[in-house]
Structure 1
Amino acid sequence: MPGIRLDAASYAVTGREILSNLSFTLTERRIAVIGRNGSGKTTLLRLMAGLIAPSSGTVQVEGMDPARDRKAMLDRLGILFQNPDHQIIFPTVGEELAFGLKQQGRTSDEAAGLVSDLLARHGRTHWEKAPVQTLSHGQRHFLCLLAILAMQPATILLDEPFAGFDMPTIARMSRMFDALPQRLIAITHAPHTAANADRVLWLEAGRIRADGRPGDVLPQFEAEMARMGAVDADTDLAL
């Protein structure tokens, strides 16, 4: 089964339901999941990635359960977190890039060759021996993306991919994302970053509020956010 499928999937922590009865299938090339802070977007991303399992219902990636078969996900699904420091585990760029390749069964020599080729294609051969701590935040974020691309997954999940970046960095990242052949599913609270998606899902309080083309969903979302901005919009999040 192609794509990512959720069937009546819910997720709860200590009795509090964060995601409720979600059912959809994602097969489009560019997908955005929008919603305000606290709506459950990041929890949904973790559920699709298999980092957590649903409390009820099912999640499938290409017909497999991502929470149960992590190894099978290596060449099917990648995830780019908002904070690169939550993702990087090795001291040098070369080691970080080689790790996923070795997890896929590559030998050390094969992984080293693929890392060198990857860095050369992106004009960053000089990064290979560099300590990760010498890279800027944006460079570390890019390193995490390169580590995902090295493994060539079919789908990449993006958690607020442009948060905290200046305009030139956003422009460079946007061009790169646009050129990627993979299916991209971006989690965002900023509607303008979803304008070019093929499909937009609006998540509100752990449920799908709207699902469709950007031209249909985004005006509804922006109007509701403007309405909430005129009142105490965050009072319900603590309930």
Structure 2
Amino acid sequence: MDSINFNGVSVRVPVDGSDAGKLLLQNVSLDLRERRVGVIGANGSGKSTLLRLVNGLVEPSEGSVVVYGDDTVGAVRKVRGKVGFVFTDPLSQLVMPTGREDVELSLRRSIRNGRERALRAEQVLDRFGILHLADQSIYELSGGERQLLALAAVLAVDPKVLVLDEPSTLLDLRNRELLRRTVAGLDQQVIMSTHDLDLAQDMDRVLVVEAGQIVFDGGPAEAIARYRQLCAAEVDGRA
């Protein structure tokens, strides 16, 4: 089943002095089949929680999430083999001194032979146009180069789904466009949260999240218009 299913999902976290806890997501039911799915909403709306449910980084308090036939709680190892996750800040994800080493680390489980692993790592780095950066310290790279490196490390193992949590936040315009073109050319199903409405416009389907609920689910133009209305209403309410 090539889809991601949220079935009545709610997420609560403990809060001191509260028996009920804090509700981060409430009764979310979705069937995500589109090749490109965007998620937009204000900070604290529940976007990141929604994304982290897809690969089991967060577990539902109620309901279930099923990724391509596997439950994210009961079969979390299988799910994480299918889902690659790229965080907002690539430095929180890159753990080795150089890009070459990081990509080889990603491949260690799937390719046991060291020579084969090194060759595959070079192929992956070359695919993303960063082979010439393979042996530089990750701290010498630009934000866009680091983000491409994080993408390369995740995609090296060929996941079925790529989840991107606000990937353009730390990027300048040139690197944002590079990221945009790279994502557009991927074979994987992509689920991406973003504050960049131009990136959201590229999606096939966009979810608007507000106060832990999906308040709009549809085409990008309509979703962006709905999000702008929500933002304007909030500003008017504070005025």
For the criterion TM > 0.5, the same-fold answer is yes
Structure 2 CA distance for partners of 1:47 and 1:121, relative to 1, 3 Å: closer
For 1:203, the equivalent position in structure 2 comes to 209
Give the deviation of 1:68 after TM superposition. 4.2
C-alpha distance in 1, partners of 2:74/2:110?
17
Instruction: Tell me whether 1:91 sits opposite 2:91 in the alignment.
Output: no
**Aligned to 1:143, what secondary structure does the other structure show?**
helix
Matched, 1:103 2:91: no
Q: Give the SS at the match of 2:238.
A: coil
Structural mapping, 1:69-80, within 5 Å: 69-80=75-86
Matched, 1:166 2:172: yes
Instruction: Please give the secondary structure, in 2, of the residue aligned with 1:11.
Output: strand
Change (3 A) 1:101 1:85: same
Partner in structure 2 of residue 63 of structure 1: 69
1:21 match: 27
Alpha-carbon distance in 1 for matches of 2:123, 2:217: 40
Task: From the superposition, tell whether residues 69 and 92 of structure 1 become closer, same or farther in structure 2 (CA, over 3 Å).
Answer: farther
- Number of aligned positions between the proteins: 233
- Quote the Cα distance in structure 2 between the aligned partners of 1:99 and 1:218: 39
How far apart in 1 are the matches of 2:128 and 2:151?
12
Percent of aligned positions that are identical: 36
What TM-score, normalized by structure 2, do the two folds share? 0.90
Letter in structure 2 aligned against 1:4: I
Secondary structure class of the residue paired with 2:30: strand
Find the aligned partners of 1:72 and 1:123 in 2 and give their Cα distance: 30
Cα gap change, 1:105 to 1:51, in 2 (>3 Å): farther
Gaps of 5+ in 2: 15-20
CA contact (8 A) 2:82 2:159 kept: yes
Matches within 5 A, 1:2-17: 2-14=2-14, 15-17=21-23
RMSD between aligned residues: 1.8
Structure-1 residue corresponding to 2:60: 54
Q: What CA distance in whole angstroms lies between the structure 1 residues aligned with 2:75 and 2:6?
A: 16
Deviates more, 1:221-230 or 1:116-125: 116-125
Give, as a single letter, the amino acid of the residue that structure 1 aligns with 2:155.
L
Name the amino acid aligned to 2:231.
Answer: M
Aligned counterparts of 1:217 and 1:120: Cα–Cα separation in 2: 36
**Cα offsets for 1:10-47 (capped at 9, x unmatched):** 11111111111111011101111111111010111111
Residue 231 of structure 1 aligns to a residue in which SS?
helix
